[in-house]
């Protein structure tokens, strides 16, 4: 019985060390993300065609993206950082602002500004604030 309790104790300690490491990784990642997303010069404006749209998830065809991310093709997954509903239609041309950089944590490229037919649908400052707050909330 003593052997079993020692084994359980060792497993619990390993789990605690592992989770502590994950927490440190998240904090480092959050710091890097906030640094990247806080600097306005890291944002790029693109024009692209909406290929798929579902809520805040959107796939956009944008040939210019390859100039920034050589491993991406012209179709890319994005997430729109907005608290209100954005109405987009498949086939529509939009102007959007993003940071063309992946942190390799599974999230999509962020969209922080959208213009459609010259009209601002999502303002840069609003989208950027929501994105940074999302990082602070999800990577504590």
Domains of the chain: 41-138 (2.40.50.320)
Per-residue pLDDT of the chain (140 residues; tens, 9 = 90+): 666 565 554 554 444 444 334 444 467 888 999 999 999 999 999 999 999 999 899 999 998 888 888 777 788 899 999 999 899 999 999 999 999 987 765 678 999 999 999 999 999 999 999 999 999 888 76
Can you give the pLDDT at residue 105? Answer: 54
pLDDT at residue number 140: 67
Whether residue 51 contacts residue 62, with contact meaning beta carbons closer than 8 Å, is answered with no
Predicted confidence at residue 7, as pLDDT, reads: 56
CA–CA dist 131, 34 (Å, integer): 9
Residue 66: its pLDDT value, please? 86
Query: pTM for this one?
Result: 0.78
């Amino acid at each position: 019985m003593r052997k079993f309790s020692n084994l359980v104790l060792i497993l619990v300690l390993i789990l605690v060390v592992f989770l502590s490491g994950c927490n440190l990784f998240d904090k480092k990642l959050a710091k890097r993300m906030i640094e990247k997303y806080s600097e306005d010069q890291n944002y790029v404006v693109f024009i692209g065609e909406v290929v798929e749209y579902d809520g805040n998830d959107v796939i956009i065809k944008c040939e210019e993206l390859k100039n920034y991310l050589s491993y991406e093709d012209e179709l890319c997954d994005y997430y729109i950082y907005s608290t209100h509903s954005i109405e987009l239609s498949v086939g529509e041309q939009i102007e959007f602002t993003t940071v063309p950089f992946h942190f390799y944590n599974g999230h999509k490229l962020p969209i922080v500004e959208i213009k459609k037919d010259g009209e601002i649908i999502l303002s840069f400052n609003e989208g950027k604030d929501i994105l940074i707050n999302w990082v602070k909330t999800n990577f504590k």
